[in-house]
Structure 1
Amino acid sequence: MWISKKVKQYSYIHGKADINHTVENCNLILGIDEFLHGKKKNKQLESLSFKKFYQRIYKSPDNNYLDWVDEIKDGYKKYINRQKNLDVLLDKSYSDGSLLNNIGVQKNLQDMAMEECPKHKVYIFGHSLDVTDKDILKLFICNDNVETEIYYYRRNKDDKESLGKIIKNLIKIMGQKELIRRTGGTHKTIKFIPQEI
């Protein structure tokens, strides 16, 4: 498995607490979920300033995560396109036999077949995974080339209260079917890691 050597330390997706901030330049994101549906959410804007997505735009906290998401998606897209090209080349080479006689082409085909999809890791600490952050969390967690480790607190080894809450919130973010797919089987992409004091 190949994991990118570029390590991103962190992103302040909820802003950063700073003693030097004032009411005017504080960029902390403390908001509510969208409660309106359909056309209403784009027309009834009285409570807009309390919604997290609005605050992320208005207060401009650290948004490096958007660059990371682009990098993750671009890498996966390039990998899928390479695999499609490889399949086309292999079909052609086996159907007419011409490409298999060329040692250089054989080496290129072998190299392409050996390339693995670029993998990325996301570590989530101390986050409730509340649906109010669905727009950001889903960008990361719902990628097949992202392995997500979710660290959660428990009082003792039998305590599963926090884990239960996190699972409920993930269902709200991605749905039951997607959560089941990502937490089991050979293509598991989400791990829950308990932390005790």
Structure 2
Amino acid sequence: SYGLMKKTLLRDLKNEFLEFIEALEIYFYEFVEKASDVHPISQIREIEPDYIISFNYTHTEKYYGINNVHHIHGVIRDDLDCGSNNMVLGVNDYDNKDFIYFVKYFQRIQKHCGVDYKYIINEPCIFKSSDEFDKEYNDYELYIYGHSLDETDKDVLKFAIGDFDDKNQFQMKARKVIIYYYDQQDFELKVINLITLFGRDIVEKNMDDNKIIFIKIDSNID
């Protein structure tokens, strides 16, 4: 019957999907994590971040001596024979719940990647105002390096950058967003993806106000 064929197909797709992720972990473990010719990038080191949301599967942060990191899409194991694979790989939101297993947000839940970044971003800071009292709010600069800004991660990006409130008014969450790009083509892609996320007017206004800033990646390494 159709129902049985559908169930079998979904089961086979899930199994092949998991096998592909495990194969990808082996690749990253053998050819990326063990690479000996990796050097820190000066431009990243100069940022000196307090906290990192890493979309990488490898321990990139070790080259910069940073410990306060949330691997939002999981991370490869130190020993592939121990524990279980928690790497997140998937597509954007999909209305058909039959395929929810292949959606990123479900993968993050299913693999216990957590939402630590939300607590860090929502942690209030004290801002010394010119008034007679201090204002308490989130005051941070967000640096985006090596991410395409694709809408498959729109829930995370909107939570960190800003989003529309109940009155459909855009509220910038970060005080400033600095986005690094490789070349003109990459710059254009990132602008297009930002417009897809927030709309042309929001992107143009915040770029004009220097709240969204693009910086070209240089080739300097330490």
Relative to the length of structure 2, the TM-score reads 0.56
Q: How does 1:157-176 map to 2 (within 5 A)?
A: 160-176=184-200
Q: Could you say what secondary structure the match of 2:71 adopts?
A: coil
Q: What CA distance in whole angstroms lies between the structure 2 residues aligned with 1:111 and 1:21?
A: 57
Deviations 1:36-83 (A, max 9, x none): xxxxx2xx3121111011011111225321112322xx55xx97xxx9
Q: How does 1:63-142 map to 2 (within 5 A)?
A: 63-71=115-123, 74-75=124-125, 110-112=131-133, 119-142=139-162
Q: Displacement of 1:180 after TM fit? A: 1.3
- 1:7 counterpart residue number: 50
Equivalent of residue 48 in structure 1, options 86, 91, 100:
100
What is the alpha-carbon root mean square deviation over aligned residues?
A: 3.0
Q: Displacement of 1:178 after TM fit? A: 1.3
Checking the alignment, whether the CA contact within 8 Å between 1:129 and 1:137 is kept in structure 2 is yes
In terms of fraction of residues, the more strand-rich structure is: 2
Deviations 1:72-97 (A, max 9, x none): xx55xx97xxx9xxxxxxxxxxxxxx
Q: What CA distance in whole angstroms lies between the structure 1 residues aligned with 2:75 and 2:155?
A: 19
Q: How does 1:135-150 map to 2 (within 5 A)?
A: 135-142=155-162, 143-150=172-179
Checking the alignment, whether the CA contact within 8 Å between 2:139 and 2:175 is kept in structure 1 is yes
Q: How many residues align?
A: 146
Alignment gaps of 5+ in structure 1: 1-5, 36-40, 84-108, 155-159
Alignment gaps of 5+ in structure 2: 1-48, 53-68, 163-171
Deviations 1:78-132 (A, max 9, x none): 97xxx9xxxxxxxxxxxxxxxxxxxxxxxxx9532x7696520111111111100
In terms of fraction of residues, the more helix-rich structure is: 1
Q: What CA distance in whole angstroms lies between the structure 1 residues aligned with 2:138 and 2:115?
A: 22
| Structure having greater relative contact order (Cα 8 Å, sep ≥ 6) | 1
- The residue identity in structure 1 corresponding to 2:84 is N
- The residue identity in structure 1 corresponding to 2:50 is V
- The residue identity in structure 2 corresponding to 1:122 is L
Question: Does the C-alpha gap of structure 1 residues 22 and 173 become closer, same or farther in structure 2, counting only changes over 3 Å?
Answer: farther
**Percentage of matched positions with identical amino acids:** 28
Runs of 4+ deviating beyond 4 Å: 21-24, 114-118
